[in-house]
Structure 1
């Protein structure tokens, strides 16, 4: 596929997104969320000390613009740093404009553009198709470049393509999810990853195994803890904690193996890519983590 064809396909997708209706989140149109969380990083690659830590506060903002449009931004504020000068600055980590839409409660699509997580910027497209109540198919494609504000402003031309595809199986009786995906990741490695997610009330625990053609075999565990209060009053401007605390352990300490950027400051494995009220599949069919005390039944 040549560059001209790719541009035409990209324009067609954007037109479909802009003019497609979005029913979910309409009750939050015009609202703004201001939130703050924390990020914990650690490593144990040295012989003279047990661990080195990097702890950042992650203040952010979201503006629900209506009809699936959302603007979001997030900053890093270092509060403890063993990682060196590269990580010492207060800096912008994410600034994204996105549009989400769906058709017939089965096809879901989200397009994003801007500064993403993991020091990438560009364009991203995510999609899911619900086959039935236990099977869903997913895909993601991106066109990005490097962009960092950690040590001055540094950026590269967007020329790196990423693409993933996979399937999710949800055992509703056991609240257990299996996710298999593979493709081309940010650092040009081709790989595959299998995740097993056990969902509890307000928490998800995951074990995973993966293979990368550049980094070999790896594995680890993750957990996502949703942060209270779980009943909230939504106003035009809402000040709250971040929705979740997310932690990943990597057994082989390969930071670039099968790495994919994030396009939302609060993106996590439990909630997924799409608005929960619209995407009624898997854990989203259970009791919501957060309820709006001001919303009429």
Structure 2
């Protein structure tokens, strides 16, 4: 608007994430705001309470996405073979029926299986989850998930994220109660003995280089407690970093991890016609210590990764506005 302030609030699954705010400078001769004039923050401003009462146009509720997740697994356990390889294409139906809710139903389609066993070579269900996210006052996000996860686990997962007034700093916590499950094709077996896992940590973001450092204390699926450190640099279409971890009764372990955005980078939707897209990004975590027993965990959603978790970071968004 001419000579008026403007605020754009970005929603994810109808839950507010960040706002971009522009306030014209008195005497400014520039007719319109440039990218560098926008302030990006978790602060939504006082107008959000009024804006959320206005009827929405082109809401994403009840609209279906079919997201195809490529999955690559590698292991080096045989001295005469460099790597054993498993490659899957795993399409997932994702839809939201109310604010903050997401239903995900996935099927795993093996494309290439060299050394991962008979069951891994069969078409079988993947994630089947019901997830709910709410934003609370003081920049607190809470996400609860029920259903079938990866790593042959099913159960419940609860996550919390809080960013401070200095938005470079944040704390997070996570707790899960899960049991074992196994698919042999579409035949499902499950266990009833539950295991509790949890994590509590702090994060620091260095805006100049878009580098994120995090330190966590965690409890893994076998009950061992440990410490984990991650150092990740985020780029427009990739996130690359290193991790190190040490748990009681286990050798120190670590490695590198990366996520890479998959083209196309922009998607269009036509009404309620299901939209078919590749996953926004794919990645690999390399286990340098070749640890197979300790440090085990799970993901509660197929799109859960370091790149997606940073996608609404205000400093990252601001850097993209300046470098576009």
What range is the shorter-chain TM-score in? 0.7 to 0.9
Distance in 1, Cα, partners of 2:192 & 2:167: 42
Q: Which residue of 250, 253, 257 corresponds with 1:222?
A: 257
TM-score (norm 1): 0.83
Query: How far is the alpha carbon of 1:251 from its aligned partner?
Result: 0.5
Of 220, 228, 235 in structure 2, the residue corresponding to residue 200 of structure 1 is 235
Judged with a 3 Å threshold, the aligned counterparts in structure 2 of structure 1 residues 256 and 138 are, in CA distance, closer, same or farther, namely: farther
Preserved contact between residue 218 and residue 228 of structure 2 (Cα < 8 Å) = no
Q: Contact between 1:169 and 1:178, CA under 8 Å: does it hold in 2?
A: yes
Larger displacement relative to structure 2 (167-176 or 27-36): 27-36
Q: Which residue of 2 aligns with 1:177?
A: 212
Q: Summarize deviations over 1:65-112 as a string: whole Å, max 9, x none.
A: 221011012221111112221311111111000110112361110001
Q: Is this contact kept in 1: 2:16–2:135, CA < 8 A? A: no
Q: 1:107 aligns with which of 136, 140, 145?
A: 140
Partner of 1:294: none
Any conservation in 1 of the 2:182–2:188 contact (CA below 8 Å)?
Answer: yes
Larger-Rg structure: 2
Distance 1:262 1:284 in 2: 25
2:129 is aligned with 1:126: no
CA–CA distance in structure 2, aligned partners of residues 225 and 93 of structure 1: 22
Q: Secondary structure at the match of 1:84?
A: coil
Q: Deviations over 1:147-168 (max 9, x none)?
A: 1103642211152111100011
2:316 counterpart of 1:283? yes
Contact 1:107 1:127 in 2 (8 A): yes
State how 1:1-297 maps to structure 2 within 5 Å: 23-24=15-16, 27-82=59-114, 83-104=116-137, 106-131=139-164, 132-150=166-184, 152-235=187-270, 236=272, 237-272=274-309, 280-281=313-314, 283=316, 286-287=319-320
**In 2, Cα distance between equivalents of 1:78 and 1:111:** 29
- For the 8 Å contact 1:73–1:265, the answer to whether it is kept is no
Match of 1:15 in 2: none
Tell me if structure 1 keeps the 8 A contact 2:200–2:216: yes
| Count of aligned pairs | 264
Task: Report the aligned-residue RMSD.
Answer: 2.2
| TM-score with structure 2 setting the length | 0.76
* C-alpha spacing 1:106/1:24, structure 2 compared with 1 (3 Å): closer
TM superposition outliers: structure 1 runs of 4+ over 6 Å: none
Q: 1:163 to 1:154 in 2, by over 3 A?
A: same
